[in-house]
């Protein structure tokens, strides 16, 4: 079999497998972000903290919609730029959402959660820290490390901006979160069908304060 034929066979087989793994899930059409919420920014700074206890109450759709938009949503449609900066506007950061039902890719341009894999993978994010598996939502920040040269790779820094956005949104909206590096990265890469150059950098369990 010719190399191109092998490639196409593998590619389409992978696409079919991805579809099978997420076939029970539907895209989550998010609500328009609520610009008026969140209180005073200085108050959010004052209230920002790392919390490891969460209510098991499911996040309201408006809260989930505003959370992911604040984290790394599109705030300038005319230029396609985002709420979190990236070096040279490379936009190499991707945000994923884990729920008890499955894993989703946040499409910032369409403001939609696209299904990736059906199933509860929160325990793979939690590792030995069981509290993270109990949060109703986990946000996973993924960076593409092929975008910058190794000696000047800004993906880790850019992931930090998204992380801080999550912290400040939660602080201003009575939600709890903590930034974590612990996770089964090999398993998460498999679940999310990441390319070799993509790496999970941080994850944020998020829930209402208990």
pLDDT in tens, 77-129: 999 999 999 999 999 999 999 999 999 999 999 999 999 999 999 999 999 99
Number of structural domains (the chain) is 1
Residue 22 lies in a domain: no
CA-CA distance, 188 to 121, in Å (whole number)?
A: 8
Q: Is residue 189 part of a domain?
A: yes
* 201 falls within a domain: yes
Q: Is residue 159 part of a domain?
A: yes
Query: Would 3 be classed as within a structural domain?
Result: no
State pTM to two decimals: 0.89
**Is 170 strand, coil or helix?**
helix
Show the beta-strand stretches assigned E in the chain: 28-29, 74-76, 81-82, 93-98, 102-107, 112-118, 137-144, 175-177, 198-208
Does residue 4 fall inside a structural domain? no
Residue 132 lies in a domain: yes
- Domain presence at residue 11: no
pLDDT tens for 131-153 read 999 999 999 999 999 999 988 99
pLDDT digits (tens, 9 = 90+) for 47-76: 999 999 999 999 999 999 999 999 999 999
**Contacts of 106 by beta carbon, 8 Å cutoff, 6+ apart:** 68, 71, 72, 73, 94, 95, 96, 97, 112, 113, 114
We report the CATH number of the domain holding residue 173 as 3.40.109.10
Q: Is the pLDDT of residue 19 over 80?
A: no
54 is in which domain, residue-wise? 27-208
């Amino acid at each position: 079999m010719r190399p191109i034929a092998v490639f196409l066979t593998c590619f389409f087989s992978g696409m079919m497998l991805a579809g099978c793994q997420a076939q029970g899930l539907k895209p989550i059409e998010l609500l328009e972000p609520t610009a008026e919420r969140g209180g005073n920014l200085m108050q959010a700074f004052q209230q920002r903290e790392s919390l490891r206890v969460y209510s098991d109450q499911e996040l309201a759709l408006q809260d989930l919609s505003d959370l992911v938009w604040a984290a790394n949503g599109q705030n300038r449609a005319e230029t396609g730029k985002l709420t979190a900066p990236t070096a040279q506007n490379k936009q190499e950061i991707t945000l994923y959402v884990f729920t008890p039902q499955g894993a989703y890719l946040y499409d910032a341009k369409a403001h939609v959660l696209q299904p990736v894999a059906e199933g509860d993978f929160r325990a793979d994010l939690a590792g030995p820290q069981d509290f993270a598996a109990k949060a109703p939502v986990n946000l996973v920040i993924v960076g593409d490390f092929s975008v910058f040269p190794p000696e000047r790779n800004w993906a880790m820094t850019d992931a930090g901006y998204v992380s801080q956005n999550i912290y400040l949104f939660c602080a201003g909206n009575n939600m709890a979160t903590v930034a974590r590096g612990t996770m089964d990265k090999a398993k998460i890469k498999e679940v999310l069908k990441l390319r070799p150059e993509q790496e999970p950098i941080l994850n944020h369990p998020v829930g209402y304060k208990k």
